[in-house]
Amino acid sequence: MADEANTEDIDDELDAAEDGEELEGGSKKSGRKKLLMIVLPILLLGGAGAGVLFSGLADSLLGKDKDVEMAGEAAAESEQAPEHGTIYFELPQMLVNLSTSGRRTSFLKIVVSLELTSEEDKQTLESALPRIIDNFQVYLRELRVEDLRGSAGLYRLREELLFRVNAAVSPARVTDVLFKEMLVQ
């Protein structure tokens, strides 16, 4: 009988130990649940907020549409104002052979107009015309056909010609280079 009492005590201790382990495991699970209950809604709200922000719905709620419209109207007015004072200066047609490093010779025929802001700048350009043509010829001869391909090539060409003409007529200012004709053969 003493053996039965010892066995029952051991069984009771084992049951208590098992219950304790379950309680510890249960507390771990409840801690995870609490963490999920806190973190998951925060993540969902953050994702929804980002979705609203990137979709553009937040702009109308914050009143940014009015700011964009007013900025667009101001830009349109500023673009229209200089057009009344815009003067164009046409350069003579230029024909250059492109970089001759390849087997085949390629030619570039180009007709350019320069956009100015004042009549005084036009007189300065007329007096500096030989320097402008020289700068353009030297630059254009170094180009390859690959340099002129695509809109990116034409944009780079426009920016480079604008830089060179402004360097040649330093006190005057040319605002844009406009291509009237361009032929690569």
68-77, 95-104, 139-148, 172-181: the lowest-pLDDT one: 68-77
pLDDT score, position 6: 54
- Tens of pLDDT, residue by residue over 23-61, are 455 566 788 888 888 888 898 888 888 887 777 776 666
Out of 62-76, 95-109, 160-174, give the one with best mean pLDDT: 160-174
Are residues 89 and 76 part of one domain? no
Among 81, 111, 137, the domain-final residue is: 81
pLDDT score, position 179: 94
Are residues 98 and 73 part of one domain? no
pLDDT score, position 23: 47
Q: Read off the CATH number of the domain in which 122 is found.
A: 3.30.479.30
**Cα–Cα distance measured from residue 145 to residue 116, given in angstroms and rounded to the nearest whole number:** 29
- Structural domain of 25: 2-81
Are residues 95 and 31 part of one domain? no
Are residues 139 and 48 part of one domain? no
Whether 98 and 140 have beta carbons less than 8 Å apart is answered as: yes
DSSP letter for 1, please: -
Are residues 160 and 112 part of one domain? yes
Among 48, 81, 114, the domain-final residue is: 81
Whether 81 has a pLDDT exceeding 50, the answer reads: no
Are residues 55 and 100 part of one domain? no
The residue among 8 and 158 whose pLDDT is bigger is 158
Are residues 77 and 90 part of one domain? no
Contacts of 171 (CB under 8 A, 6+ apart): 124
Are residues 169 and 94 part of one domain? yes
Whether 171 and 92 have beta carbons less than 8 Å apart is answered as: no
- Tens of pLDDT, residue by residue over 97-108, are 987 776 788 899
Are residues 17 and 75 part of one domain? yes
Whether 180 and 112 have beta carbons less than 8 Å apart is answered as: yes
Torsion sign, CA atoms 132, 138, 144, 145:
positive
Are residues 72 and 15 part of one domain? yes
Instruction: Kindly state the average pLDDT of the residues 132-152.
Output: 90
Are residues 116 and 74 part of one domain? no
The residue among 158 and 54 whose pLDDT is bigger is 158
Structurally, the chain folds into a number of domains equal to: 2
Among 30, 51, 81, the domain-final residue is: 81
Are residues 96 and 61 part of one domain? no
Whether 7 has a pLDDT exceeding 50, the answer reads: yes
- Tens of pLDDT, residue by residue over 113-131, are 999 988 888 989 999 999 9
